[in-house]
Amino acid sequence: MSRIPTLADLGDVRGKRVLVRTDFNVPMENGEITDDFRIRAALPTINWLTERGAQVVTCSHLGRPKGQPNPKYSMDPVRARLGELAPGVELLENLRFDPGEEGNDPAFVAKLIEGIDMYVDDAFGACHRAHASIVGPPLTLPSAMGLLLQKEVEVLLGLRNDPKHPFVAVLGGSKISDKLGVVEALLRVVDSLVVGGAMCFTFLAALGNPIGDSLFEPDQVDTCKRLLEQSKASGKTIHLPEDIVGVDAQGNFATFGTRLPEGAKGFDIGPGTAAAFSDVIMDARTVFWNGPMGMFEDPRFEAGTRTVAQAMADTKAFTVVGGGDSAAALAQFRLDDEVSHVSTGGGASLELLELGDLPGLDALRKAPNA
Ligand code: ADP
Ligand code: MG
């Protein structure tokens, strides 16, 4: 596996037209950008290139226009904001206005790189997709990963390949089936797994606990049994909740043990569990967190997620958060600056942890300058 070229591997960029694949998939409301974080996040790479005399042409997708031009997903507002932050930098129209982007059509790649000398990928969140703008340009152009992508790769492959122990993975969110691959990959490298969120009910059910009407996946019970047995055999701990917060059959807020009464629904880990999970996080040297501990969007059920987020902020461990909703929770509690790294790619970060590679990284590794 050859290395992935970095910006320095582009050589002299002076006078070169460099296509930068960015992630400008910004949140919009009524045609206005509500948060320009992703545009600002691209500036280090853009400035690195322009300061060295390159002419930068950026490109991105925005929303899901499904291969057709649609004014609702026009790049105009992004282009205006980019013009303020990085004058003179160009931005192509929404890549997904053309079906060739998602279809990885060579003719679309050819159109994209017309008049372009070099390619930089700084769109981590799109690297798990073999789309034209991700895997096409490195086939022929000298290419590199941008600074954002480089950081993601270093952090996430570092977790996979060389974590400081104890290494703890904290998992939550809605479905174990969505995350089974990454759970199995993590179990190979972590010392312990902490499980909250809706997925904990499938584990609790696998241990024979009644879980009331909580969200769970009956077809994953056997998988959870196997994971529990496997981890036991390999000397790893899977920490499960010891108390649960939710509503009883009448819909009233209630705290339960691990055996839920009929008709009850669990929506968060309980206070005892949150404290126990925090202790595990405080004692770790590396922590990866994906998936909220409960339905944190409802203030009645945010406490578990908030306590875990606070432990992530307080621990001396190297802390990494991946996943759209986990990152949103962290931002809601204003703790996003208190962890070591918040990954910008939801699906991409889990896939990189699971497989150790992504289509976009593989393409860069095969670039002519690599
Ligand atoms: P991420 O985006 O961080 O990977 P997921 O998408 O897997 O996380 O899951 C996030 C969702 O899981 C949130 O919307 C949250 O409300 C939901 N969730 C977590 N715990 C529960 C629960 N006990 N019952 C129902 N929904 C839950
Ligand atoms: Mg999500």
Q: In whole angstroms, what is the distance from residue 244 CA to residue 307 CA?
A: 14
Q: Are 131 and 106 in contact (CB under 8 A)?
A: no
pLDDT of residue 247: 98
Q: Is the CB–ligand 1 distance for residue 298 below 6 Å?
A: no
Q: Where are the domains of the chain?
A: 7-149+357-365, 165-316
Instruction: Name residues of the chain where pLDDT drops below 70.
Output: 1-2
Each residue's pLDDT tens digit, 319-355: 999 988 999 999 999 999 999 999 988 889 999 999 9
Whether the model pTM is above 0.85:
yes
Q: How far is the CA of 116 from the centre of ligand 1 (A)?
A: 42
Q: In whole angstroms, what is the distance from residue 365 CA to residue 199 CA?
A: 36
Q: How far is the CA of 51 from the centre of ligand 1 (A)?
A: 43
Q: How far is the CA of 323 from the centre of ligand 2 (A)?
A: 6
Catalytic residue set: 38, 175, 324, 347
Q: In whole angstroms, what is the distance from residue 211 CA to residue 126 CA?
A: 37
Nearest CA to ligand 1 atom 15: 295
Which ligand neighbours the alpha carbon of 353 most closely? Answer: 1
7-149+357-365 and 165-316 in the same fold:
yes
Which ligand neighbours the alpha carbon of 260 most closely? Answer: 1
Q: How far is the CA of 48 from the centre of ligand 2 (A)?
A: 32
Residue type, 301: F
**Mutational test site, ligand 1, from 211, 295, 330, max ligand atoms within 8 Å of CB:** 295
Nearest CA to ligand 1 atom 10: 173
Q: Is the CB–ligand 1 distance for residue 41 below 6 Å?
A: no
Residue type, 9: D
267: Cα separation from own chain's centroid: 23
- The CA-based angle 271-275-280, given to 5 degrees, is 145
Q: Is the CB–ligand 1 distance for residue 168 below 6 Å?
A: no
Which ligand neighbours the alpha carbon of 291 most closely? Answer: 1
Domain 165-316 class in CATH: alpha beta
Q: Is the CB–ligand 1 distance for residue 198 below 6 Å?
A: yes
Cβ-Cβ contacts under 8 Å for 44 (sequence gap 6 or more) = 146, 147, 148
pLDDT of residue 158: 95
Q: Is the CB–ligand 1 distance for residue 292 below 6 Å?
A: yes
Token pair of 356, please? 């150790």
pLDDT of residue 365: 97
Q: Is the CB–ligand 1 distance for residue 346 below 6 Å?
A: yes
HEC string for the chain: CCCCCEHHHHCCCCCCEEEEECCCCCCEECCEECCCHHHHHCHHHHHHHHHCCCEEEEECCCCCCCCCCCHHHCCHHHHHHHHHHCCCCEECCCHHHCHHHHCCCHHHHHHHCCCCCEEEECCHHHCCCCCHHHHCHHHCCCEEECHHHHHHHHHHHHHHHCCCCCEEEEECCCCHHHHHHHHHHHHHHCCEEEECCCCHHHHHHHCCCCECCCCCCHHHHHHHHHHHHHHHHCCCEEECCCCEEEECCCCCEEEECCCECCCCEEEEECHHHHHHHHHHHHCCCEEEEECCCCCCCCHHHCHHHHHHHHHHHHCCCEEEEECHHHHHHHHHCCCHHHCCEECCCHHHHHHHHHHCCCHHHHHHHCCCCC
Q: Is the CB–ligand 1 distance for residue 347 below 6 Å?
A: no
C-alpha separations of 47 from 18, 115, 149, 159, 227 in Å: 12, 21, 15, 29, 47
DSSP β-ladder status, 286-290 and 318-322:
parallel
The CATH number of domain 7-149+357-365, selected from 3.90.1300.10, 3.40.50.1260, 3.40.718.10, 2.40.50.140 = 3.40.50.1260
Q: In whole angstroms, what is the distance from residue 306 CA to residue 332 CA?
A: 9
Nearest CA to ligand 1 atom 4: 323
Q: How far is the CA of 313 from the centre of ligand 2 (A)?
A: 21
C-alpha separations of 319 from 60, 92, 121, 167, 314 in Å: 29, 36, 25, 10, 10
